[in-house]
């Protein structure tokens, strides 16, 4: 479930409010968005992927809150990890074009 | 019933309205726009991130137009699907998928290249694919309404003429009057939190049935995915490299990602937790798996689990008709539904035509979405063009089976809806009702589901975000009833439909089951096109 919006990183672009398929976030006048309907989160990680400044963290647990803190995320360098792997963001190569896709297909058939 | 939806709120007109912005909806919008239609696409969430495709990677049934390869591709799921697929439809879908995938390459999808430098087009990464589809749809001049779920279709005596709903972020009611409507709302996974599936609640089935359309293959609706108990990431294919264990480390005999899923289910039913470990993937394969399905490893990495070395508890998460094959019955080659002006595409439509009763999961569903989306988009555009300017002078009314009203949400309404959702889930999630089906189990479940439908039937639904959830609960209830009535009628085991009391397949039941109706659910048989036995 979505657990963290980093106030330090968030630039209030409200991209997460737009892209969340289940409308979990709310815009805030003159502020950063808030997690308004946390239990509606389907743990699809799309908000994290679309966040241009790596300010969001979706915890892996889809059933309950883990209670992870922003300090722990910074320490474990977990913010932005998914976006980096997908290859989104300036100067990155999208994983969609990775040669391993072809290699896996040759070996596994999928 | 004269609904007030058109009297207040935002109003637009279009030639074609597409409901749903996943792969099928975006392809429908693109092709309709290319035929010169003015198109509006309304998504319940956000076109680009909504639905089962956007968050994950998928194979695509992309096969070069060489006779031998095509024949092998068609034969691959034919027998497993209970021989319910049709030759002609498989050919059409293979042709259109080939064409559309090549078009995606031209439009900028970053396909990987093989050693010879040829683009590899048998897979798509969801985030990349759907971000590109949104861009292409916008470039084609389509108006996108995000966060705009539909609550009901609109129609007059000539046929379907639009839809009405609510914008969840502003609370405004909206309606679109259109010459033709394409339903591309996906399947139904009953809010099970399978990856990306919580927007897929069978809404389109309910809308179609309220307009008089029927469903097909709703007995093929019991797909379950292997998934870590704590996670939403459903990617059963990777478990072909898994071994399954009990808590004491002994092997679960017969458990597997394909036919062995039943063994896992029976253990879970008996209260024995099953654990998995991907120990069948060697060191060389591991980085390939990691790269090809980035999000598969995300939950493990974040919990400090190495799935190649550590065991983790697994469950079977319901994917319903998302990976099943049942859906709205298709009555012609343009993906019409038999109701004038109404078309269906993607997982909202039956996929029996290309994979029978075996899972549509992965490559077939992806191919079906882009092909049926294109067929439906073209069909809807042609229909709207025939109506011409007449389409703007109609006075359609809403088709919702429950009264839709403006006004404040009543206290307790949300809690009530949540109760209905839980009650439906209690009928469709249990393996001993839905996976291992029996006459007794289905009949007693239907008794409760019929009661749930009757209770919800006369509920006033508010044109608010809360009302959207109430309609979802109704759609899931209706879906479960078509599923179980069809499952009861098929007294044999075929495709994914398993009857404990009829374990073999019965040649005299080599037919489709069509279903429909709201207060009175009906099921009847339909012959499979003759040429389908050629294989």
A86/B294 touch (CB, cutoff 8 Å), yes or no: yes
What ipTM describes this predicted complex? 0.97
One of 3.60.15.10, 3.50.50.60, 1.10.10.410, 3.30.530.20 is the CATH number of B10-221+321-394, namely 3.50.50.60
CA distance A2 to chain B (A): 13
Distances in Å between the Cα of B532 and the Cα atoms of B79, B85, B354 are 11, 7, 10
For B95, other C-beta atoms within 10 Å of its C-beta total: 14
- B188 in Cβ contact with B202 (< 8 Å): yes
- B291 in Cβ contact with A101 (< 8 Å): yes
Taking the C-alpha atoms of residue B228 and residue B147, their distance in angstroms, rounded to an integer, is 30
CATH class given for the domain over B223-320 = alpha beta
From the list B128, B147, B295, the residue facing A96 with the nearest CB is B128
The verdict on B165 touching A (C-beta cutoff 8 Å) is: no
A62/B232 touch (CB, cutoff 8 Å), yes or no: yes
Taking the C-alpha atoms of residue B163 and residue B7, their distance in angstroms, rounded to an integer, is 13
- B525 in Cβ contact with B511 (< 8 Å): yes
∠ CA(B182), CA(B186), CA(B192), 5° rounding?
155
A43/B193 touch (CB, cutoff 8 Å), yes or no: yes
Model confidence pLDDT, tens digit, residues A79-98:
999 999 999 999 999 999 99
- B30 in Cβ contact with B377 (< 8 Å): yes
Taking the C-alpha atoms of residue B359 and residue B59, their distance in angstroms, rounded to an integer, is 14
CA distance A109 to chain B (A): 9
CATH class given for the domain over B407-504 = mainly alpha
Taking the C-alpha atoms of residue B390 and residue B380, their distance in angstroms, rounded to an integer, is 15
Domain residue spans of chain B: 10-221+321-394, 223-320, 407-504
- B14 in Cβ contact with B176 (< 8 Å): yes
User: Measured between alpha carbons, how far apart are the two ends of chain A, in Å?
Assistant: 29
What tokens were used for B93? 């879908």
Taking the C-alpha atoms of residue B168 and residue B148, their distance in angstroms, rounded to an integer, is 6
Nearest CA in chain A to B60: A110
Query: What residues of chain A lie within 8 A of the CB of B50, using their CB?
Result: 21
Model confidence pLDDT, tens digit, residues B392-403:
789 999 999 999
In chain A, residues 41-100 whose CB comes closer than 8 Å to chain B? 42-46, 49-50, 59-63, 78, 81-82, 85-86, 88, 94-100
Which residue, chain included where needed, has tokens 């459903």? B234
Taking the C-alpha atoms of residue A71 and residue A6, their distance in angstroms, rounded to an integer, is 10
The verdict on A21 touching B (C-beta cutoff 8 Å) is: yes
B110/A96 touch (CB, cutoff 8 Å), yes or no: yes
CA distance B229 to chain A (A): 9
Task: Please name which of A76, B426, A34, B222 lies closest in space to residue A60, comparing C-alpha atoms.
Answer: A76
pLDDT at B531: 58
A103/B288 touch (CB, cutoff 8 Å), yes or no: yes
Instruction: Please list the residues that pair with B125 across neighbouring strands.
Output: B57
For B278, other C-beta atoms within 10 Å of its C-beta total: 22
pLDDT at B7: 53
- Sequence-ordered list of residues with C-beta below 8 angstroms from that of B146, at least 6 positions apart, any chain: A18, B21, B43, B45, B46, B47
Task: Please name which of B208, B469, B475 lies closest in space to residue B346, comparing C-alpha atoms.
Answer: B208
Nearest CA in chain A to B305: A60
A21/B195 touch (CB, cutoff 8 Å), yes or no: no
In this structure, what is the dihedral angle of CA atoms B148, B149, B151, B153, given to the nearest 10 degrees? 80
Model confidence pLDDT, tens digit, residues A29-39:
999 999 999 99
The verdict on B124 touching A (C-beta cutoff 8 Å) is: yes
Sheet holding B511-516, edge to edge: B327-328, B215-216, B511-516, B522-527
Distances in Å between the Cα of B164 and the Cα atoms of B113, B173, B187, B351 are 45, 8, 20, 27
CA distance B255 to chain A (A): 20
- Sequence-ordered list of residues with C-beta below 8 angstroms from that of B393, at least 6 positions apart, any chain: none
Task: Please name which of B535, B447, B522 lies closest in space to residue B215, comparing C-alpha atoms.
Answer: B522
**What single DSSP character describes residue B409?**
P
Task: Please name which of B189, B259, B236 lies closest in space to residue B429, comparing C-alpha atoms.
Answer: B189
Residue A44 predicted with pLDDT over 70: yes
Per-residue pLDDT of chain B (535 residues; tens, 9 = 90+): 334 444 578 999 999 999 999 999 999 999 999 999 999 999 999 999 999 999 999 999 999 999 999 999 999 889 999 999 999 999 999 999 999 999 999 999 999 999 999 999 999 999 999 999 999 999 999 999 999 999 999 999 999 999 999 999 999 999 999 999 999 999 999 999 999 999 999 999 999 999 999 999 999 999 999 999 999 999 888 999 999 999 999 999 999 888 789 999 999 999 999 999 999 999 999 999 999 998 999 999 999 999 999 999 999 999 999 999 999 999 999 999 999 999 999 999 999 999 999 987 779 999 999 999 999 999 999 999 999 877 778 999 999 999 999 888 888 999 999 999 999 999 999 999 999 999 999 999 999 999 999 999 989 999 999 999 999 999 999 999 999 999 999 999 999 999 999 999 999 999 999 999 999 999 999 999 865 444 4
A60/B302 touch (CB, cutoff 8 Å), yes or no: yes
Cα A61 from chain centre? 14
From the list A19, A62, A85, the residue facing B193 with the nearest CB is A62
- B292 in Cβ contact with B122 (< 8 Å): no
**What single DSSP character describes residue B281?**
S
β-bridge pairing B10-19 and B173-183: parallel
β-bridge pairing B342-344 and B223-228: unpaired
Query: What residues of chain B lie within 8 A of the CB of A97, using their CB?
Result: 110-113
Taking the C-alpha atoms of residue B162 and residue B380, their distance in angstroms, rounded to an integer, is 12
CA distance B525 to chain A (A): 35
Instruction: Please list the residues that pair with B156 across neighbouring strands.
Output: B159
Alpha helix positions (H), B429-523: 439-457, 465-489
Taking the C-alpha atoms of residue B431 and residue B292, their distance in angstroms, rounded to an integer, is 31
The verdict on B258 touching A (C-beta cutoff 8 Å) is: no
In this structure, what is the dihedral angle of CA atoms B104, B108, B113, B119, given to the nearest 10 degrees? 30
């Amino acid at each position: 479930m979505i657990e963290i919006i980093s106030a330090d990183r968030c630039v209030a672009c409200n991209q997460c409010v737009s892209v969340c398929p289940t409308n979990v976030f709310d815009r805030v006048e003159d502020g950063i968005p808030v997690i308004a309907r946390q239990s509606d989160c389907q743990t699809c990680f799309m908000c994290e992927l679309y966040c241009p400044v790596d300010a969001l963290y979706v915890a892996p647990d889809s059933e309950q809150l883990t209670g992870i803190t922003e300090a722990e995320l910074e320490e474990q360098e977990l913010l932005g990890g998914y976006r980096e792997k997908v290859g989104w963001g300036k100067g990155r190569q999208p994983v969609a074009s990775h040669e391993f896709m072809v290699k896996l297909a040759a070996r596994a058939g999928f | 019933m004269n609904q007030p939806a058109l009297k207040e709120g935002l109003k637009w007109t279009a030639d074609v309205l597409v409901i749903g912005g996943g792969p099928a909806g975006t392809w429908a919008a693109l092709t309709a726009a290319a035929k010169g239609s003015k198109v509006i696409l309304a998504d319940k969430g956000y076109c680009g991130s909504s639905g089962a495709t956007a968050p994950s990677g998928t194979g695509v049934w992309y096969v070069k137009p060489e006779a031998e390869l095509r024949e092998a591709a068609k034969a691959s799921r034919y027998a497993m699907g209970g021989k319910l697929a049709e030759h002609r439809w498989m050919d059409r879908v293979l042709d259109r998928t080939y064409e559309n995938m090549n078009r995606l390459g031209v439009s900028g999808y970053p396909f990987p290249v093989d050693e010879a430098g040829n683009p590899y087009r048998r897979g798509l990464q969801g985030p990349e694919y759907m971000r590109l589809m949104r861009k292409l749809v916008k470039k084609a001049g389509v108006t996108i309404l995000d966060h705009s779920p539909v609550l009901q279709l609109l129609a007059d005596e000539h046929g379907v003429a639009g839809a009405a709903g609510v914008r969840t972020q502003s609370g405004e009611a909206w309606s679109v009057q259109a010459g033709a409507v394409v339903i591309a709302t996906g399947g139904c996974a009953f809010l099970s939190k399978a990856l990306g599936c919580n927007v897929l609640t069978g809404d389109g089935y309910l809308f179609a049935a309220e307009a008089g359309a029927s469903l097909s293959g709703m007995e093929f609706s019991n797909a379950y995915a292997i998934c870590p108990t704590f996670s939403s990431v459903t990617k059963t294919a990777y478990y072909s490299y898994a071994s399954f264990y009990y808590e004491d480390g002994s092997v679960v005999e017969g458990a597997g990602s394909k036919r062995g899923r039943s063994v896992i289910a029976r253990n879970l039913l008996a209260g024995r937790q099953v654990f998995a470990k991907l120990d069948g993937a060697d060191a060389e394969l591991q980085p390939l798996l990691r790269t090809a399905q980035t999000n598969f490893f995300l939950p493990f990495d974040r919990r400090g689990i190495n799935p190649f070395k550590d065991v983790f508890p697994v469950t079977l998460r319901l994917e319903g008709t998302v990976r099943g094959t049942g859906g709205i019955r298709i009555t012609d080659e343009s993906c019409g539904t038999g109701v004038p002006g109404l078309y269906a595409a993607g997982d909202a439509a039956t996929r029996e035509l290309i994979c029978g009763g075996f899972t549509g999961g992965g490559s077939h569903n992806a191919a079906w979405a882009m092909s049926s989306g294109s067929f439906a988009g073209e069909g809807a555009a042609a229909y709207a063009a025939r109506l011409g300017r007449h389409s703007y002078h109609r006075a359609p009314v809403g088709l919702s089976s429950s009264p839709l009203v403006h006004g404040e949400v009543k206290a307790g309404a949300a809690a009530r809806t949540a109760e209905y959702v839980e009650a439906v889930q209690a009928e469709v999630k249990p393996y001993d009702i839905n996976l291992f089906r029996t006459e007794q189990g289905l009949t007693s479940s239907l008794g409760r589901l019929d009661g749930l439908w009757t209770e919800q039937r006369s509920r006033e639904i508010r044109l608010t975000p809360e009302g959207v959830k109430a309609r979802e609960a109704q759609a899931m209830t209706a879906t479960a009833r078509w599923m179980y009535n069809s499952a009861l009628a098929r007294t044999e085991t075929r495709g994914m439909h398993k009857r404990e009391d009829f374990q073999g397949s019965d040649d005299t039941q080599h037919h489709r089951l069509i279903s429909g109706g709201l207060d009175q659910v009906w099921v009847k048989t339909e012959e499979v096109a003759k040429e389908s036995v050629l294989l």
